[in-house]
Amino acid sequence: MQSHKLWTKDFIGSSFINFFLTLVFYLLIVTMATYAIEQYHASISTSGLVSGLFVIGGLTGRLISGALIHKLGANRLLIITISICIILIGLYFMDFGIVFLVMLRFLHGVPHGMALTAISSIVAQNIPESRKSEGINYYSMSTTLATAFGPFLGIFMTQHTTFPVLFLVCLILMGLSLMISFSVKVISDDQSQAIHTKALKFKDIIKNSIEINTIPIGIIILLLSFAYSGVLTYLNLYASQINLTHIASFFFIMYSIMVFLSRPLTGKLMDYRGHNIVMYPAFIFYALSMFMLSTVNNGFVLLLIGGIMGLGFGNLQSATQVIAVKSASKSRISVATSTYFICFDAGLGLSPYLLGYITPITGYAHMFGLMAIIILLTGIVYFFIHGLKETKEKLAK
């Protein structure tokens, strides 16, 4: 008989690993452009490449991680990739020039993306089916908290300490992740065992990296993360322009507080009432926060916006992940997870590059207003690709 227990040793350990991995991602993503400029006198475009190539590497890693989970098993892949990440972070302490740093960022992104997919696959398989939405909501809080504290801590450390200290913190976090990974097990890893000894061909890699049924909700999270990446990339510069730099880093703290308070409720709501009851209000909150950001002129309102965005994107992030996992059969949960995060990272990585062409024309304020429109249009797309279907299914019961 399947256990309905959620807060197991494996679930808690997996959540900590995911938090540490994501924290390292954001610590580096918000600081590496500054590091490239200060350490190597890199141009703005080169510094952006240093920052963004990590995401491209992560996408590459996620693309092949589904097949490797099938080949090696999620636990083994997790341990291997975290170990590689530790070695690569150690290379940040070496000064071999800007070209080496660019290559290192891409190489580091590959195993990091694979590790994130592996741990998410482990969690998705371990959560009891009857508590799937609630469990993924709690688990994804570790991502959201890291998303909030990572930028805050990264900006704080660049102002009050040195980059070697920041790299050392990343090294310690990855070391803790490796220690915990040895104790985390997959309760049921049937899909890994089924072809554990079978050699995978290229077509197998594609098949086991992309879940077709997950692509529709993947498009939704791609557009939503595209908008959020605009905040990550340009909020600090925008705050400097409107003389709110001293408040900007606390924006992400308010974001995380509201996510922390709302996630338990929204997880249970989705388990009992479906996804739409969370998704539609979250779209509204997210768009509203972007519209407000485009007109903000004082610190209190900026913090308020952070809280509203937490209710919006913070819950959209977990709800779409629930939908992604439920879109696939149990044997392809790891592939659905990989597909979801490929789309998520694509939006996160493409945004700084594309908005870099738009922002000089529109200005930061109008750019955030444009993101609000994109969010509302994404809500309409969601209605047609998932929301309407769910409503019809509920009415048919």
When pLDDT is cut at 50, 70 and 90, the band that residue 1 belongs to is very low
* Domain that residue 167 falls in: 1-187+202-209
Domain membership flag for residue 195: no
CATH code for the domain of 60: 1.20.1250.20
Of the pLDDT bands very low, low, confident and very high (cuts 50, 70, 90), residue 110 is very high
* 144 in the same domain as 1: yes
Cβ contacts of residue 73 below 8 Å, gap of 6+?
A: 186, 189, 192, 193, 196
pTM of the model: 0.76
- Give yes or no: residues 230 and 310 share one domain: yes
Residue 326 lies in a domain: yes
For the chain, how many residues are written? 397
More confident residue, 388 or 332: 388
Helix, strand, coil percentages (3-state) for the chain, rounded to 5, are 85, 0, 15
Q: In this model, does residue 112 exceed pLDDT 90?
A: yes
193 located within any domain? no
Same domain, yes or no, for 216 and 182?
Answer: no
Q: Greatest CA separation found in the chain?
A: 64
In a domain, 194, yes or no: no
Domain identity same for 160 and 282? no
Does residue 376 have a pLDDT over 70? yes
Query: What is the per-residue pLDDT across 289-315, written as a single tens digit (0 to 9) for each?
Result: 999 999 998 999 999 999 999 999 989
Residue 196, in any domain of the structure: no
Q: Are residues 234 and 348 in the same domain?
A: yes
- For the stretch 206-225, pLDDT in tens is 666 678 888 999 999 999 99
- Does one domain contain both 230 and 366? yes
Confidence of residue 192 (pLDDT cuts 50, 70, 90): very low
Q: Is 226 part of any domain? A: yes
Concatenate the DSSP letters of all residues of 184-224 into one string. Answer: ---S--HHHHHTTTSPP-HHHHHHTT--GGGHHHHHHHHHH
In a domain, 61, yes or no: yes
User: Is 86 in the same domain as 224?
Assistant: no
- Shared-domain flag, residues 124 and 225: no
Same domain? For 131 and 267 the reply is: no
- Token pair, residue 386, equals 């998932």
Examine residue 35 and state whether it is found in any structural domain, yes or no. Answer: yes
Based on the domain organization, do 179 and 268 belong to the same domain?
no
Say whether both 177 and 234 belong to one domain: no
Radius of gyration in angstroms for the set of CA atoms belonging to the chain, rounded to a whole number: 20
Domain count, the chain: 2
Same domain, residue pair 319 and 216? yes
The mean predicted confidence, pLDDT, of the chain is 83
Summary count for the chain: helices (H), strands (E): 15, 0
CB atoms within 10 A of CB 197: 7
**Contact status, residue 319 vs residue 275, Cβ threshold 8 Å:** yes
